[in-house]
Amino acid sequence: MADIAIRAVRKSYGKNPTLHGIDLAFASGEFVVILGPSGCGKSTLLRMIAGLEEITSGEIAINGKVVNRLEPRERGCAMVFQNYALYPHMTVAGNIGYALKVAGVPKAERLRRIEETAKIVGLSDYLDRKPAALSGGQRQRVAMARAIIREPNVFLFDEPLSNLDAKLRVTMRAEIRKLHQRLSATSIFVTHDQVEAMTLADKLVVMNKGVVEQVGQPLDIYHRPASIFVASFIGSPAMNLFDAAVDVDNACLTFGGTKMVIDRALAVRLGARHITVGIRPEQCVVAPEGVSIKVDFIEELGSGRVIHSELNGHPFAATVDEHTRARPGDRVTLELPLAHLHLFDQETGRRIEIDLAPRAARNSASQQTLQAV
Amino acid sequence: MIQRTPFANALTYCVMIFGFLLLIGPFIVIVSGASQTFQQVNAIPFSFMPQDRLLENMGAAWSRAHLGTAMLNSFVMASLVTVGKVALSALTAFAIVFFRTPLKGFFFWMVFITLMLPLEVRVVPTYAVAADLFQPVRLLISAVTGFEVSVDWNLLNSYAGLTLPLIATATGTFLYRQFYLTLPDELAEAARMDGSGAIRFFIDMLLPLSRTNMLALTTIMFVYGWNQYLWPLLMVTDPQYKTTMMSLVALLPSDNGTPDWNVTLAGSLIIMLPPLIVVAVLQRWFVRGLVATEK
């Protein structure tokens, strides 16, 4: 159990900066997921916590102790690597127990702890095998057992599930979550898979291009993305985004060929500026009035279907339930509820914190004037 | 392979047999000649049939050229050279591959360039150093202080002299480097996370993993060490330290002596045996290590 503080941490390789000042704090026992596209610096950050990568500036503290200058073994972290990095010439038992062997734990105790750990991950029958004779999932378990046996304060996972097939990935995800509940060590999990991120995280960190875009609980981030990047990165299919203009005089938003009347006071608060309006596909509602779109093609999901179309040149997706019948070429009318619109400042890319459908107006939200131009 | 017609097959066999004879021919001459009597070996035409005098001839060769000591010396020398080369190249490559040192590329290429400088090319300076180890120090002292210091220490007539100059090896370093580069970085990182230091990582991970590589190198280097001729010839004047390659000369019939080639051939056969055995025992690993697919 340990809390982690990351303060103004930067990393550059030669002249190329990859992390531009990261500030994060993780509470003890938290399951943190760092999510971002490849090349955003998430793995670098993880490796800096582990001690495998030097910290260019700033500091990282584990349990209140600055660890910048400590060797990996002195930091109390254990790491699970993407390609498992098992020792190919050692048996499963040898792999799991290597850290103890290095630490000079007597053989009898070592064997006892290897067996205990192997039991946790369900590898008791495979202790004499070499990694080459194991399946992907079993190798993954060995890698986890190797981390568990050290009883670390911090677990670090570097995209550990990306080499597994889809089904196994779901199983292992559940196992990692269970394991965390059982050991309750602080865990940091790096991934580019938003489903993994949403399902595992207590706290989600979204990174892009070496900066932290947003930190929060997964649902918070889903409902209130702090920037255009987060809005487009989280959620599947991705949020529909449109360039929009605020017309203060007529109190309306114009985007995607539609005009949407908003509260005059809000329009004044927004001011005449260029913004980006977003709406999630799953929050578009089929309605008698609203935006009319022409269906390009349809993705069946079983529990529903995704209608793909275009709105004023922008790709547009809407998730509808399985009862909505539509064929390519049909026209469908969708309502975009004001309450679910996300507004972003185009200059900064940050969210504009405004509730377009204040509580009083919410009842009449369905009657909001919403006309195709 | 590509085509399997009777004609292609026959041609393939012809080529193979030709190559085989080319390689095995001299060996057949040695074996048959070594087992013949003095008269038989000098008969014209030469008979390729082995006879029954092999052991007698070998005995004669053994005592004439003092092969006992020579074989022992050669064996010690070849073993020391092999062990030294393998150990040194494993460590050099370790330093080059796994440490982020400035100038490491420079050092690697310097080592690599010496591939083009075999011992024969640098034999004179190497001999100068081996014959007078303190020469550079003495020069330095006299240049700085003006005093002539007389320290005499050399490697002539010693195992150290026979082996040390041969131990540096670019081939081995290169072979090891290529092997280390095939290992994923995460392996070293996982070991670091498990608390293992550099030396521990070398012993626990790299040595066991490079076993095939090591045996391949052992094979090459043992044969190389055993076959050394020029260097022992320079370093050794004391018959105590003579190696087999030098005693081959003693086996040659002298200009006006009896041309007993059967004894000479029997002697060569004895001298050939140790590297043959090493290659025969290690050849499986040899091939695997050079192909280096097993990880």
Give tens-digit pLDDT for A80-122: 998 889 999 999 999 999 999 999 999 999 999 999 999 988 8
Closest CA to A142 of A153, A158, A157, A126: A126
User: Residues 6 or more apart from A42 whose CB is under 8 A from it?
Assistant: A34, A35, A36, A190, A192, A207
Of B11 and A262, the structure prediction assigns the larger pLDDT to B11
What does the DSSP 8-state code read for residue B247?
A: H
Residues of chain A contacting residue B209, judged by C-beta atoms under 8 Å apart = 88-89
Q: Is A52 on the interface with B (CB under 8 A)?
A: yes
Using CB atoms, which residue from A72, A77, A85 is nearest to B186? A85
Q: How far is CA B149 from CA A201, B137, B141, B153, in A?
A: 75, 9, 8, 12
Residues A298 and A305: beta-carbon distance below 8 Å:
yes
pLDDT score recorded for residue A24: 93
pLDDT score recorded for residue A260: 83
DSSP A307-366: EEEEETTEEEEEEEETT----TT-EEEEE--GGG-EEEETTT-BBP---SS-HHHHGGGG
Dihedral through CA B281, CA B287, CA B290, CA B295, nearest 10? -90
Distance CA B74, CA A40 (A): 60
User: Residues 6 or more apart from A28 whose CB is under 8 A from it?
Assistant: A1, A2, A3, A186
Residues of chain A contacting residue B205, judged by C-beta atoms under 8 Å apart = 87, 89
pLDDT at residue B39 is higher than 90: no
pLDDT score recorded for residue A344: 92
Instruction: Count chain A–chain B contacts defined by CB atoms under 8 A.
Output: 56
Closest CA to B287 of B222, B195, B220, B233: B220
Q: Global pTM?
A: 0.79
pLDDT per position as a tens digit, A315-369: 899 998 888 888 888 888 888 888 888 999 988 889 988 877 755 444 444 444 4
Residue type, A106: P
Using CB atoms, which residue from B187, B195, B208 is nearest to A99? B195
Count of alpha carbons within 13 angstroms of residue A335, beta-carbon side: 13
Which residues lie across from A78 on neighbouring strands?
A155
DSSP alpha helix (H) spans, chain A: 42-50, 92-103, 107-120, 136-148, 166-183, 194-200, 218-223, 228-233, 264-270, 359-362
Inter-chain residue contact A85 with B187, CB threshold 8 Å: yes
pLDDT score recorded for residue A269: 83
Cis previous bond, A237, omega within 30: yes
Residue type, B1: M
pLDDT score recorded for residue B259: 78
Residues A4 and A49: beta-carbon distance below 8 Å:
yes
Using CB atoms, which residue from B184, B196, B204 is nearest to A83? B184
Of A32 and B163, the structure prediction assigns the larger pLDDT to A32
Which residues lie across from A335 on neighbouring strands?
A285
- What mean pLDDT is predicted for residues A19-44? 92
pLDDT score recorded for residue A361: 47
pLDDT score recorded for residue A308: 92
DSSP B69-101: HHHHHHHHHHHHHHHHHHHHHHHHHHHHHH---
pLDDT per position as a tens digit, A35-47: 999 889 999 999 9
Inter-chain residue contact B195 with A87, CB threshold 8 Å: no
Using CB atoms, which residue from B191, B200, B209 is nearest to A88? B209
The pLDDT > 90 percentage for chain A reads 44
Q: Which residue has the tokens 């185009």?
A: A346
pLDDT score recorded for residue A290: 82
Domains and CATH numbers, chain A: 4-230 (3.40.50.300), 237-372 (2.40.50.140)
Highest mean pLDDT among A4-8, A179-183, A241-245, B96-100: A4-8
pLDDT band at A370 (very low <50, low <70, confident <90, very high): very low
pLDDT score recorded for residue A95: 93
Residues B237 and B157: beta-carbon distance below 8 Å:
yes
Inter-chain residue contact A146 with B191, CB threshold 8 Å: no
- What mean pLDDT is predicted for residues B45-64? 85
In terms of CA atoms, which chain B residue is nearest residue A81? B186
Choose the mutation target among A73, A86, A113, A156 for the interface with B, i.e. most B CBs under 10 Å.
A73
Using CB atoms, which residue from A78, A86, A89 is nearest to B193? A78
Residues of chain B contacting residue A99, judged by C-beta atoms under 8 Å apart = 193-195
pLDDT band at B1 (very low <50, low <70, confident <90, very high): low
Give, for A372, the enclosing helix (H) or strand (E): strand A370-372
Residues of chain B contacting residue A85, judged by C-beta atoms under 8 Å apart = 184, 186-187, 189-190
In terms of CA atoms, which chain A residue is nearest residue B196? A102
Inter-chain residue contact B204 with A98, CB threshold 8 Å: yes
Residues of chain B contacting residue A77, judged by C-beta atoms under 8 Å apart = 193
A68 φ, ψ to 5°? -45, -40
